[in-house]
Amino acid sequence: MPLRVVVAGATGVVGRTLLPRLGEREHHVTALVRKPERLEGVPADEVAVADVLDPDGLAERVRAAEPDVVVDLTSGFSAADRDEGLRRTAELRARGSKNLLDAAAQAGARRFIAQSMTAAYQPHGHDVLDEDSPLWTEAPDGWGEVVRSIASMEEELLTRAGIEGFVLRYGSLYGPDTAYAPGGELHARVCGSELPLVEEGMGLTSFTHVDDAAGVILEFLEGGDPGAYNVVDNEPAECSEWLPAYARMAGGPAPVSLTLDQAKAQLDWLTVHQLTEQRGATNFRIRETLGWRPTWPSWREGFASLFGLWPG
Ligand SMILES: NC(=O)c1ccc[n+]([C@@H]2O[C@H](COP(=O)([O-])OP(=O)(O)OC[C@H]3O[C@@H](n4cnc5c(N)ncnc54)[C@H](OP(=O)(O)O)[C@@H]3O)[C@@H](O)[C@H]2O)c1
């Protein structure tokens, strides 16, 4: 059945992938954006101009859109400076997402779909974590602020009466126009030998292709039960595996090897954490409850497709 869907963050990487697919299914789409010119041809039935940090303007625009479902794809991570990106994202999760949830509830929306991240799990015990694993709210520095803001957004959403809340915990997003694509931030770091293997390269990453990040939202517009879901591929990978493979496919140099002490002296805390102790996530819950299967089951094919090395 066609639904009325409001998408905040429609100009972002996942938003640009999602909006055409919503249109193909004949949903009525309101793109909620700060600057309409940034939509650049992305199809939407209506464009509503609002900043999620401005609760009054936001509530008015969302009410006018009469949504059945509201999707929050806002993020501050695209800021040029990493610390600024963390600060903006924490603010968006702490205030912006709450404003949007309030606006959605007041407008009578039945569902609210929010994005979270598997990178927020506390590294402990098993290598591959499920949705009941604790988020790392005690993490240091700016990362701790981001995780605390995510945890409080998730709790607010999943306990709010009168609206069904869905939390989609993505892995590291890759695909066209992401940090992993040619010209993206991660691509530049790998090709510039700025991302090393540290010790045994034991940090785990779960990946999510943007096609899957967008596709799963389509599934949850009507299907599934409220709750938190890891939306990741089938193959969490150690850094020692994915980083050399990515460098090879990107045509970059093989990653250099550093000791932990060298890495700590040369890299920021978050990068060292990701390369050495981060854990992966399992998609078991979403496979079992929704029957979801990733279009890109492994980063291996996904990375290859980014560099024209995968057929089709
Ligand atoms: N990238 C990853 O690896 C990753 C991993 C896990 C989860 N996620 C989450 O997945 C979601 C989609 O990510 P993405 O990569 O598509 O994000 P993105 O490309 O960085 O886009 C972010 C979007 O947020 C909008 N935005 C920022 N501040 C806003 C504000 N104050 N009011 C209204 N809109 C605002 C931006 O609009 P403007 O055009 O106005 O700037 C843009 O449309 C995000 O929630 C992100 O946190 C990402």
Cβ neighbors of 112 (< 8 A, separation 6 or more) are 69, 70, 71, 72, 100, 101, 104, 105, 157, 160, 163, 164, 165, 166
* Residue ranges lining ligand 1, Cβ < 6 Å: 8-9, 11-15, 33-35, 38, 51-53, 73-78, 92, 96, 115, 117, 170, 172-173
- What region, left, alpha or beta, does residue 291 occupy, with left being phi > 0 and alpha being psi -120 to 50 degrees? left
DSSP string spanning 30-51? EEEES-GGGGTT---SEEEE--
Q: What pLDDT is recorded for position 10?
A: 98
Q: How far apart are CA 158 and CA 121, in angstroms?
A: 17
Q: How far is the CA of 215 from the centre of ligand 1 (A)?
A: 17
pLDDT of amino acid 1 = 86
Distance 76 CA to ligand 1 centre (A): 6
| pLDDT < 70 stretches in the chain | 312
Atom from ligand 1 closest to the CA of residue 38: 39
> Cα(257) to centroid of ligand 1, in Å?
32
Q: Do residues 14 and 173 touch, judged by C-beta distance below 8 A?
A: yes
Per-residue pLDDT, 310: 85
126-151 tens-digit pLDDT: 789 999 999 999 999 899 999 999 99
At 21-66, the pLDDT tens digits run 999 999 999 999 999 999 989 999 999 999 999 999 999 999 999 9
* Atom of ligand 1 minimally distant from the CA of 53: 31
What residue spans define the domains of the chain?
Answer: 4-175+206-233+281-295
Nearest to 75 by CA among 59, 96, 98: 96
Quick one: which atom of ligand 1 is closest to the CA of 52? 32
Contact partners, residue 24, CB within 8 Å, separation at least 6:
none
Give the per-residue pLDDT at 82: 87
- Region 4-175+206-233+281-295: CATH code: 3.40.50.720
Q: Is 54 exposed, middle or buried (0-12, 13-18, 19+ CB in 10 A)?
A: middle
Alpha-carbon span 287 to 114, nearest angstrom? 19
